[in-house]
């Protein structure tokens, strides 16, 4: 198996990104991409030499300065000025994993040959990715409309020997990076700065991260909820396929089938039940998890289309001999989708916390707070508080960013998506949901102890055995923060 992934041969997919990340693959440009980049740049250079007509961002100013013509002698300085002046990010640094995704997505977009960049510029970005050179990028500053201008400016600064990067466990300047790697800074030609800065790669990198995480989160939510259902001595009837066929919601049918598969062979689920009905947090798992399944599926499609897109401006069509200024950098498709995904994940956390609450409530023969020596020990009383706090915060973060817009650039950029804010909020909701599910897993695996000698299904018993290698049964009070950290790590590092 090759250590390299060839980029630009075809549209990049989410499944391929998962492989690139999991296998720590390096990138290589396909011959098709190299030729497309070279041909596009050649067309643009010839056009600039042969025409005096104004072309936005190539021989004009930017934003509301579009009417200012720039002389041919100043075209390269114009691009460097653009990158420097737009590097206005604020707030904390973003996760290095997101920056690596930004590099990947920017390279992919430029590889289509509609952006007018030099081949050496794209190759340098590939070298950044392959050498784990991670530009320092800040959380705030993008309106998600003229592209992710500020974050992408910070991504681009090291190309010209400016800004900062993380490299070999150090944070160093772009100038120091050039010296270490014995590189010359890239001399940006006409249009290149605009090609680098216009684009949705900040928003979409967060989107890719969230979709890949949400697929894992949903699988764990189903598995943990099945374990909780058995620990609560719940009923199997609400998962009968006949119920879900007559409602005809795809996600609901899939989840109901999955829960029954997870519980197949359980001694607990098959024993006779005293109670007639279960609370909604158990009985409505297919309806709630299923709705999130459908939402994740929708967002996956939107993110997938964005991976196969060119989102800078203007766009260059060498075959047709055209340069067209439009608005592919506008993040509205992502903004709406990222807000939607945050809601879907927050709901998985919300219903999970309710199941945790039911497990510690002293119902169905389980002791209060699942404690073995109550009074002296508080047991699992307070992790539910933590879950409630996380769920409440996620609800607050689900206020949609995409309904907001603030005019910028003297009214020229008069409607923006705020997709970058949707993206960074979503990142926090993803992390919160992991933690809420980890707390439910701690409670469900603890509660199963009180159903012994009966066993749950062989698959769930194996989950418990593996989990116990990380988090032991709680017999006496201890610092549960450490257990939660280990449980989150267990979920992130293992398949459900």
What pLDDT is recorded for position 33?
98
In the three-class reduction of DSSP (H, G, I as helix; E, B as strand; rest coil), residue 377 is classed as: strand
What pLDDT is recorded for position 67?
60
User: Is the CA virtual torsion 206, 212, 213, 217 positive or negative?
Assistant: positive
Regions of the chain where pLDDT drops below 70: 1, 56-57, 60-73
Domains: count for the chain:
2
Q: How far apart are CA 173 and CA 155, in angstroms?
A: 13
- The CATH code of the domain that includes 148 is 1.10.275.10
Q: How far apart are CA 311 and CA 328, in angstroms?
A: 5
Residues 11, 12, 13, 17, Cα dihedral to 10° = 170
Tell whether 105 and 85 lie within a shared domain. Answer: yes
Return the CA Rg of the chain. 26
Q: How far apart are CA 460 and CA 463, in angstroms?
A: 5
Q: How far apart are CA 209 and CA 424, in angstroms?
A: 11
Q: How far apart are CA 257 and CA 264, in angstroms?
A: 11
Residues 396, 341, 254, 233, Cα dihedral to 10° = -20
Rounded to whole angstroms, what are the CA distances from 248 to 191, 296, 300, 319? 51, 18, 21, 47
Tell whether 332 and 459 lie within a shared domain. Answer: yes
In the three-class reduction of DSSP (H, G, I as helix; E, B as strand; rest coil), residue 266 is classed as: coil
Q: DSSP assignment, residue 166?
A: E
- What does the angle CA 227 – CA 212 – CA 20 come to, to the nearest 5 degrees? 125
Q: How far apart are CA 363 and CA 218, in angstroms?
A: 27
Tell whether 397 and 453 lie within a shared domain. Answer: yes
Of 314, 403, 395, 330, nearest in space to 114 by CA: 314
- The CATH code of the domain that includes 275 is 1.20.200.10
Tell whether 420 and 397 lie within a shared domain. Answer: yes
In the three-class reduction of DSSP (H, G, I as helix; E, B as strand; rest coil), residue 373 is classed as: coil
What pLDDT is recorded for position 425?
98
- Which pair of structure tokens corresponds to residue 466? 């593996």
Tell whether 235 and 193 lie within a shared domain. Answer: no
Region of residue 411 (phi > 0: left; psi between -120 and 50: alpha; otherwise: beta): left
Tell whether 195 and 284 lie within a shared domain. Answer: no
What pLDDT is recorded for position 244?
98
Q: Point out the domain boundary residue: 199, 234, 260.
A: 199
What pLDDT is recorded for position 74?
72
Question: Which residue range(s) make up the domain with 233?
Answer: 206-493
Tell whether 170 and 301 lie within a shared domain. Answer: no
pLDDT tens-digit readout, 96-146: 999 999 999 999 999 999 999 999 999 999 999 999 999 999 999 999 998
Do residues 141 and 148 touch, judged by C-beta distance below 8 A? no
Q: How far apart are CA 474 and CA 381, in angstroms?
A: 12
Tell whether 401 and 469 lie within a shared domain. Answer: yes
Tell whether 147 and 117 lie within a shared domain. Answer: yes
Question: Mind spelling out the 3-state secondary structure of 318-368?
Answer: CCCCEEECCCCCCCHHHHHHHHHHHHHHHHHHHHHHHHHHHHCCCCCCCCH
Asked if residue 71 has a cis previous peptide bond (ω within 30° of 0), the answer is no
pLDDT tens-digit readout, 313-331: 899 999 999 999 899 999 9
Rounded to whole angstroms, what are the CA distances from 165 to 140, 157, 194, 269, 385? 18, 9, 21, 54, 39
Long-range contacts of residues 176-181, Cβ cutoff 8 Å, at least 24 apart: 177/133, 181/127, 181/131
What pLDDT is recorded for position 72?
66
What pLDDT is recorded for position 34?
98
Tell whether 482 and 348 lie within a shared domain. Answer: yes
Of 463, 447, 436, 417, nearest in space to 223 by CA: 463
Phi, psi of 92 (to 5 degrees): -70, 160
Tell whether 68 and 210 lie within a shared domain. Answer: no
Active site residues: 56, 86, 198, 280, 283, 329, 413
To 10 degrees, what angle do helices 332-359 and 419-448 make?
20
What pLDDT is recorded for position 339?
98
Tell whether 399 and 266 lie within a shared domain. Answer: yes
Look up tokens 């592209």; give the residue. 147
Q: How far apart are CA 113 and CA 124, in angstroms?
A: 16
Q: Point out the domain boundary residue: 175, 199, 223.
A: 199
What pLDDT is recorded for position 254?
98
Q: Point out the domain boundary residue: 151, 167, 199.
A: 199
CB within 8 Å of 379: residues ≥ 6 apart: 360, 367, 368, 369, 370, 371, 372, 474, 477
Do residues 76 and 188 touch, judged by C-beta distance below 8 A? yes
Rounded to whole angstroms, what are the CA distances from 335 to 155, 198, 338? 21, 16, 5
């Amino acid at each position: 198996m090759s250590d390299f992934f060839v980029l630009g041969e075809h549209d990049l997919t989410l499944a391929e990104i998962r492989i690139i990340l999991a296998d720590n693959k390096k990138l290589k440009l396909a011959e098709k991409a190299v030729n497309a980049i070279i041909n596009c740049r050649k067309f643009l250079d010839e056009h600039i030499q042969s025409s005096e007509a104004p072309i936005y961002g190539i021989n004009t100013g930017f934003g509301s300065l579009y009417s200012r013509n720039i002389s041919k002698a100043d075209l390269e300085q114009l691009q460097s000025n653009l990158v420097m002046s737009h590097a206005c990010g604020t707030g904390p640094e973003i996760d290095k994993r997101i920056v690596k995704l930004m590099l990947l997505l920017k390279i992919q977009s430029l590889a289509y040959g509609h952006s007018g960049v030099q081949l050496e510029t794209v190759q340098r970005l590939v070298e950044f990715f392959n050498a784990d050179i991670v530009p320092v990028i800040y959380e705030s500053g993008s309106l998600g409309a003229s592209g992710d201008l500020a974050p992408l400016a910070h991504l681009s600064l090291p190309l010209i020997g400016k800004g900062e990067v993380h490299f070999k466990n150090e944070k160093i300047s772009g100038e120091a990076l050039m010296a270490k790697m014995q590189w010359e800074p890239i001399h940006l030609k006409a249009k290149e700065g605009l090609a680098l800065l216009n684009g949705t790669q900040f928003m979409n990198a967060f989107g890719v991260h969230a979709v890949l995480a949400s697929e894992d989160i949903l699988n764990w939510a189903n598995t943990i909820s099945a374990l909780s259902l058995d620990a609560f001595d719940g009923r199997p009837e609400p998962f009968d396929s006949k119920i879900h066929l007559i409602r005809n919601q795809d996600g609901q049918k899939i989840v109901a089938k999955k829960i029954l598969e997870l519980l197949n062979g359980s001694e607990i689920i098959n024993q006779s039940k005293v109670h007639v009905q279960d609370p909604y947090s158990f009985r409505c798992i297919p309806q709630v998890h299923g709705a999130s399944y459908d939402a994740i599926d929708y967002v996956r499609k939107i993110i997938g289309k964005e991976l196969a897109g060119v989102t800078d401006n203007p766009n260059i069509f060498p075959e047709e001999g055209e340069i067209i200024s439009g608005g592919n950098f506008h993040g509205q498709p992502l903004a709406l989708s990222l807000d939607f995904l945050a809601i879907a994940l927050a709901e998985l956390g919300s219903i999970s916390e309710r199941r945790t609450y039911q497990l510690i409530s002293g119902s169905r023969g389980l002791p209060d707070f699942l404690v073995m020596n109550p009074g002296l020990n508080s047991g699992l009383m307070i992790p539910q508080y933590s879950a409630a706090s996380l769920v409440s915060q996620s609800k607050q973060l689900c206020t949609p960013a995409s309904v907001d817009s603030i005019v910028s650039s003297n009214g020229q950029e008069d409607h923006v998506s705020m997709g970058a804010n949707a993206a960074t909020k979503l990142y926090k909701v993803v992390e919160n949901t992991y933690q809420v599910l980890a707390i439910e897993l701690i409670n469900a695996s603890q509660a199963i102890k009180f159903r012994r000698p009966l066993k749950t299904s062989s698959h769930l018993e194996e989950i418990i055995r593996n989990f116990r290698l990380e988090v032991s049964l709680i017999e006496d009070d201890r610092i549960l923060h450490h257990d939660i950290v280990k449980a989150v790590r267990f979920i992130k590092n293992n398949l459900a």
